[in-house]
A and B are shown apart, each in its own frame.
Chain A
Amino acid sequence: MINLISLWALPGIIITILTVAMFKKVPIYEEFVEGAKDGFKVSINIIPYLVAIIVGVSMLRASGAIDMFSNMMLPILHKLMIPVEAIPVMIIRTLSGAATLGLFSDVVHHFGPDSYAAKLCAVIVGSSETTFYVISVYFGSIGIKKFRYAILTGIIADIIGIVVAVTVCSHFFLPSIG
């Protein structure tokens, strides 16, 4: 069922849009090309913003700062029964999507797909979005310089997400293990 929905979501949207347009006698080919012209412009516009965020994140990952931070958090994590491995996933999650999937795969392969660490990370990755990436690219594409409260909102939402994820996971998955 789930696979069927994921499989048909995109084709379904495309067929619906094109069919409705044909009924309304919209010149779909001309309009498609007209709209698609902006694709190049938008992609090029976001390059400076992509460079800023991706270089920053790459540098942070290369420096080993995230591992240091995880180790500092160790005593608190033990109390809350959060596996240390989840911390880099939590941090990187808000910064870069591709890097998160890489880290998540590492956790899954290292601890096994049925481990608590893998499940907790799965829930965190599955229920959040790359806050900083989205904000910088979306604002970048239209030249907004003052983000006002957008970042603060994103961070608060991420923290709430992590707290809820840890709570929900310990309810769902911990009794079956311990």
Chain B
Amino acid sequence: MNYIFYFLIVISIVIGAINGKLPDVVNSILSGADLSVKIAFSLIGIMAFWLGIMRIAEKSGIVLAVAKIIKPITKWLFNEIPPENSAIGNVALSFSANALGLTNAATPIGLKVMEELQAENEDKSSASNAMCMFLAMNTAGFQIIPATVIAILVGAGAKNPTEIIVPVLIVTSTTFVCSILVAKLFAKLWRAQND
């Protein structure tokens, strides 16, 4: 992340200077910082709502029930987390929220999962294999219905906007499976490197 951050900033300034867009680049620091705080603040309400609902789901045993159903898969995916942990049930809920394109619900649930995985983590400053797996599932962006994209196509008057559903489904499931396999592979490689 240190290198990415460095390159992002330095490349922007150098190329901005070459293109004569240095004033734009400088202005974008202010507007970017401003936008970050706006996003965080706009998250507070919806975050509170979903964390509240999630707490009810947890207390009523729904999270555990879901965790039990998907146990065969999660035992392999998250072999370092006890299968009865509430994180596992929340992983399933987070995945469903993502798959259905419910971005507003997905982020709070995802952050809750991270918190629960952190409780099981030995080194609190370093990512666990379970976290990397969860993020791999998340960043692959599995989605059954790309609602936002279809909405934009419909808005622009596309003849057959739903024709992208099948290609999206093919691409998104391939990426999802690959992403999980890559994470599993790295989990082995990284450990070997440390030993």
State A40–B49 Cα separation when bound (angstroms).
Answer: 11
A51 with B33: CB separation less than 8 A = yes
B190 with A149: CB separation less than 8 A = yes
A148 with B55: CB separation less than 8 A = no
A59 contact from B13, B59, B162, Cβ within 8 A: B13
Name A63's closest neighbour in chain B (CB-CB).
B16
Name A22's closest neighbour in chain B (CB-CB).
B60
Which residues does chain A contribute within 8 Å of B143, judged by CB atoms?
126-127
**Residue A92 CB within 8 A of the other chain:** no
Known contacts A126-B168, A149-B190, A21 near B59 by CB under 8 Å: yes
Give me 30 A-to-B residue pairs in the complex whose CB atoms sit less than 8 angstroms apart, sorted by A's number. Answer: A2-B165, A9-B102, A13-B105, A21-B60, A35-B51, A35-B55, A38-B51, A39-B44, A39-B49, A39-B52, A42-B51, A43-B43, A43-B47, A46-B40, A52-B5, A56-B8, A59-B8, A63-B25, A104-B152, A113-B159, A119-B163, A127-B168, A134-B110, A147-B1, A149-B190, A150-B132, A152-B186, A156-B179, A160-B175, A164-B170
Known contacts A9-B102, A32-B55, A20 near B60 by CB under 8 Å: yes
A17 contact from B16, B21, B60, B174, Cβ within 8 A: B60
**Residue A79 CB within 8 A of the other chain:** no
State A108–B49 Cα separation when bound (angstroms).
Answer: 35
A28 with B56: CB separation less than 8 A = yes
**Residue A47 CB within 8 A of the other chain:** yes
Which residues does chain A contribute within 8 Å of B32, judged by CB atoms?
51, 54-59
State A32–B162 Cα separation when bound (angstroms).
Answer: 38
Which residues does chain A contribute within 8 Å of B57, judged by CB atoms?
17, 21
**Residue B83 CB within 8 A of the other chain:** no
Which residues does chain B contribute within 8 Å of A13, judged by CB atoms?
105
Interface size on B, residues (CB 8 A): 107
Name A169's closest neighbour in chain B (CB-CB).
B167
Interface size on A, residues (CB 8 A): 100
B59 with A26: CB separation less than 8 A = yes
B12 with A51: CB separation less than 8 A = no
Mask for A8-41, Cβ within 8 A of B = 1, else 0?
A: 0110011011101101101010011111111110
**Residue A146 CB within 8 A of the other chain:** yes
Which residues does chain B contribute within 8 Å of A118, judged by CB atoms?
153, 156, 158
**Residue B53 CB within 8 A of the other chain:** yes
State A37–B61 Cα separation when bound (angstroms).
Answer: 21
6 tightest A-B CB contacts, nearest first: A35-B55, A39-B48, A129-B141, A126-B146, A58-B32, A113-B158
B141 with A128: CB separation less than 8 A = yes
A127 contact from B62, B141, B153, Cβ within 8 A: B141
Name A128's closest neighbour in chain B (CB-CB).
B141
Known contacts A38-B51, A58-B28, A128-B141, A138 near B110 by CB under 8 Å: yes
**Residue B73 CB within 8 A of the other chain:** no
Which residues does chain B contribute within 8 Å of A10, judged by CB atoms?
102, 105
